[in-house]
């Protein structure tokens, strides 16, 4: 039996080219497993797990390119070894990988190294692009959930002791974690003063 696997890294990408290629290699449509929006550096992918579980001794596991299977050399080797131990052949673009052949292992390792190298390049370019955008003021950090005045007001309510952490969080529409972090920041500044708080208006 032929088992096919396809993967794309983002939800916007299309797997049609991969699935068509797998069909051309003889894989039935209901035997093609697809992970969408998942990086190849993460081994824990639902469709990959299901595809590997579907394999039986004598089957052939097919990917169009090795980087669709894994983006790191250790993961690629581990998956290939797992298939080999189960008596399952691995086909990369129609070429059967032979783990017992020195040439086969060399070819496989070169493909895995290139997949990892390409992934590293993408990550490096992303970091560089973000650094350039930040330097030009185009990339901003996450906006604070509370303004400085709202934060001071929330902390003053907590200091007053009449409201619980959950109640204050509900009043300002934030999580308790936001208030804990605000209190920690104030403690780090050494600021123990509290804002004068006017009574809250009655609920209508």
Burial 54-84 (b: 16+ CB within 10 A, else e): ebeeebbbbbbebbbbbbbbebbbebbeebe
Candidate list 9, 72, 91, 119, residue with the active-site label: 9
Residues 100, 111: Cα–Cα separation, whole Å? 17
122 neighbors 144 (Cβ within 8 angstroms) = no
Please confirm, yes or no, whether 119 is among the known catalytic residues.
Answer: no
The rounded distance, in Å, linking the Cα atoms of 16 and 14 is: 6
- Which positions are catalytic? 9
């Amino acid at each position: 039996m032929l088992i096919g696997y396809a993967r794309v890294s983002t939800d916007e990408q299309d797997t049609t080219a991969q699935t068509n290629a797998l069909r051309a290699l003889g894989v039935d449509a209901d035997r093609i497993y697809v992970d969408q929006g998942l990086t190849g550096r993460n081994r824990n992918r639902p469709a990959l797990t299901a595809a590997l579980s579907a394999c039986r001794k004598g089957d052939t596991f097919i990917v169009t390119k090795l980087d669709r299977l894994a983006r790191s050399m250790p993961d690629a080797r581990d998956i290939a070894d797992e298939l080999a131990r189960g008596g399952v052949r691995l086909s990369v673009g129609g070429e059967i990988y032979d783990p017992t052949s020195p040439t086969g292992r060399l070819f496989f390792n070169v493909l895995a190294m290139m997949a990892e190298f390409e992934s590293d390049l993408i990550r490096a370019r992303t970091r560089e692009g973000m650094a350039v955008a930040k330097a030009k003021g185009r990339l901003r950090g996450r906006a604070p959930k509370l303004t400085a005045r709202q934060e001071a007001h929330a902390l003053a309510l907590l200091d007053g002791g009449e409201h619980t952490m959950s109640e204050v969080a509900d009043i300002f529409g934030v999580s308790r974690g936001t208030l804990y972090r605000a209190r920690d920041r104030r403690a780090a500044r050494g600021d123990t003063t509290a804002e004068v708080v006017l009574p809250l208006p009655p609920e209508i």
